[in-house]
Every structure is written in structure tokens, then in C-alpha cells.
């Protein structure tokens, strides 16, 4: 989905993380740097996105859009 098609109930942090994701897995650390969010906040946002089916965790601490 595009950014404006995301569920309204998603946190702003989850929306920020989703905005930097692509189909190609991105390193967790890279997401932190790009979003300027603390590690725990990024992990919470990724979990939120996973539960909504909007993100997938990969080996090596990488995340992508499904």
C-alpha cells in the first residue's frame, strides 16, 4: 500500500518506518539512522507493521515490505 493507504491506527513511528522500507531487505541499523528513531522504537514499529502484514523480518536483522 502507499503511505496514504496505511491503516489510520498505525503509530506515527510505524508509518515512518514503513516509508523507508522497500521489497529489498534493509538493515535494522539503517532504518534507525534514516528515521532517527531509537532502537526500541524501531523494533516496536517493525512489530506493529508485521502484525498488520506490512513488513517482514529477515535473517541478519533486515526488514522489508512483504
Query: Which has the higher per-residue pLDDT, 59 or 1?
Result: 59
Note the pLDDT of residue 4: 56
For residues 51-62, give the mean pLDDT: 95
For residues 36-61, give the mean pLDDT: 96
> Sign (positive/negative) of CA torsion 57, 17, 40, 31?
positive
For residues 47-63, give the mean pLDDT: 96
CA-angle at 64, arms to 26 and 57, nearest 5°: 95
Note the pLDDT of residue 8: 86
Distance CA 10, CA 52 (A): 9
| Helices then strands, each counted (H, E), the chain | 3, 3
Residue 63 has pLDDT above 60, yes or no: yes
Amino acid at each position: 500500500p502507499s503511505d496514504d493507504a496505511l491503516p489510520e491506527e498505525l503509530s506515527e513511528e510505524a508509518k515512518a518506518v514503513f516509508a523507508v522500507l522497500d521489497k529489498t531487505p534493509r538493515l535494522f541499523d539503517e532504518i534507525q539512522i534514516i528515521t532517527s528513531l531509537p532502537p526500541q522504537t524501531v523494533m516496536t514499529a517493525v512489530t506493529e507493521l508485521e502484525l498488520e502484514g506490512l513488513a517482514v523480518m529477515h535473517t541478519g536483522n533486515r526488514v522489508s515490505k512483504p
